[in-house]
Structure 1
Amino acid sequence: MHILFVHRSGSGQFAALIASLVAQGDEVTLISERPAPGQPGLRQLAYTVAAASTQHPALVATDYHLRTGEAVAGLMTSLATSDPPDVVIGHTGWGGLLFARDALPDAALLGYCEYYYRSSGSDLDFGATAPIPQPERQRIRMRNAAQLLALDTLDAAYAPTQWQRRQYPAAYRRRIAVCHDGIDTVVCRPEPRAGFCLPDGRVLTPGMPVVTFAARDLDPYRGYPQFMRAAALLAERHPESILVAVGGDGAGYGRPREDGISWREAMLAETGLTGRIVHIPWLPYESLIRLFQVSAAHVYLTVPFVLSWSLLEAMACGCLVVGSDTPPVREVIRDGVNGFLAPFDDPALLAQRIGEALQRAPLTAPLRRAARETVRAGYERERCIDRQLGWIRRLAG
Structure 2
Amino acid sequence: MHILFVHRSGSGQFAALIASLVAQGDEVTLITERPAPEQPGLRQLAYTVGEASTQHPALAATDYHLRTGEAVAELMTSLAASDPPDVVIGHTGWGGLLFARDALPDAALLGYCEYYYRSTGSDLDFGAAAPIPPAERQRIRMRNAAQLLALDTLDAAYAPTQWQRQQYPAAYRQRIAVCHDGIDTTLCRPDPEARFTLPDGRELAPGAPVVTFVARDLDPYRGYPQFMRAAALLAERHPELIFVAVGGDGPGYGRPREDGSLWREAMLAETGLADRVVHIPWLSYEAMVRLFQVSAAHVYLTVPFVLSWSLLEAMACGCLIVGSDTPPMREVVRDGVNGLLTPFDAPYQLAQRIEEALRHAPRMVPLRRAARETIRAGYERERCIDRQLGWIRRLAR
- Equivalent positions of 1:183-332 (< 5 A) are 183-332=183-332
Q: What's the TM-score once normalised by structure 2's chain length?
A: 1.00
Q: Does 1:375 align with 2:375?
A: yes
Unaligned runs of 5+ in 2: none
Q: For 2:309 and 2:19, how far apart are their aligned partners in 1?
A: 18
Q: For 1:56 and 1:4, how far apart are their aligned partners in 2?
A: 33
Unaligned runs of 5+ in 1: none
| Cα deviation, residue 260, structure 1 | 1.1
Q: What's the TM-score once normalised by structure 1's chain length?
A: 1.00
Q: For 1:238 and 1:354, how far apart are their aligned partners in 2?
A: 11
Would you say the 8 A contact 1:110–1:155 is kept in 2?
yes
The residue that corresponds to 2:42 in the other structure is: 42
Write the letter of the residue equivalent to 1:340: L
| Cα deviation, residue 137, structure 1 | 0.2
| Cα deviation, residue 182, structure 1 | 0.1
Would you say the 8 A contact 1:238–1:355 is kept in 2?
no
Q: For 2:240 and 2:334, how far apart are their aligned partners in 1?
A: 28
Q: Does 1:120 align with 2:120?
A: yes
| Cα deviation, residue 227, structure 1 | 0.5
- Corresponding residue pairs, total: 397
The residue that corresponds to 1:340 in the other structure is: 340
| Cα deviation, residue 274, structure 1 | 0.8
2:328 match: secondary structure: helix
List per-residue Cα deviations over 1:115-160 (Å, max 9, x = no partner).
Answer: 0000000000000011100000000000000000000000000000
Q: For 2:39 and 2:309, how far apart are their aligned partners in 1?
A: 22
Would you say the 8 A contact 1:227–1:299 is kept in 2?
yes
1:129 match: secondary structure: coil
List per-residue Cα deviations over 1:278-310 (Å, max 9, x = no partner).
Answer: 000100000000000000000000000000000
Q: Does 1:131 align with 2:158?
A: no
Q: For 2:361 and 2:209, how far apart are their aligned partners in 1?
A: 9
Q: Does 1:161 align with 2:164?
A: no
| Cα deviation, residue 237, structure 1 | 2.1
Q: For 1:67 and 1:262, how far apart are their aligned partners in 2?
A: 31
Would you say the 8 A contact 1:89–1:112 is kept in 2?
yes
- Equivalent positions of 1:341-356 (< 5 A) are 341-356=341-356
1:30 match: secondary structure: strand
More off after superposition, 236-245 vs 280-289: 236-245
The residue that corresponds to 2:178 in the other structure is: 178
List per-residue Cα deviations over 1:206-246 (Å, max 9, x = no partner).
Answer: 01111000001000000000100001001112221110000
1:278 match: secondary structure: strand
Q: For 1:115 and 1:249, how far apart are their aligned partners in 2?
A: 23
The residue that corresponds to 1:55 in the other structure is: 55
The residue that corresponds to 1:7 in the other structure is: 7
Q: For 1:393 and 1:339, how far apart are their aligned partners in 2?
A: 37
| Cα deviation, residue 364, structure 1 | 1.1
Write the letter of the residue equivalent to 1:350: L
Write the letter of the residue equivalent to 1:249: D
| Cα deviation, residue 377, structure 1 | 0.3
- Equivalent positions of 1:12-161 (< 5 A) are 12-161=12-161
Write the letter of the residue equivalent to 1:71: A
Q: For 1:367 and 1:122, how far apart are their aligned partners in 2?
A: 29
| Cα deviation, residue 312, structure 1 | 0.2
Write the letter of the residue equivalent to 1:203: E
Would you say the 8 A contact 1:4–1:89 is kept in 2?
yes
Would you say the 8 A contact 1:90–1:97 is kept in 2?
yes
| Cα deviation, residue 258, structure 1 | 1.2
More off after superposition, 235-244 vs 97-106: 235-244
Write the letter of the residue equivalent to 1:88: V
Would you say the 8 A contact 1:165–1:176 is kept in 2?
yes
1:123 match: secondary structure: coil
Q: For 1:199 and 1:110, how far apart are their aligned partners in 2?
A: 44
Write the letter of the residue equivalent to 1:179: C
Would you say the 8 A contact 1:6–1:30 is kept in 2?
yes
Q: For 2:15 and 2:234, how far apart are their aligned partners in 1?
A: 38
- Give RMSD over aligned pairs: 0.4
Q: For 1:57 and 1:245, how far apart are their aligned partners in 2?
A: 34
Would you say the 8 A contact 1:317–1:372 is kept in 2?
yes
Would you say the 8 A contact 1:160–1:178 is kept in 2?
yes
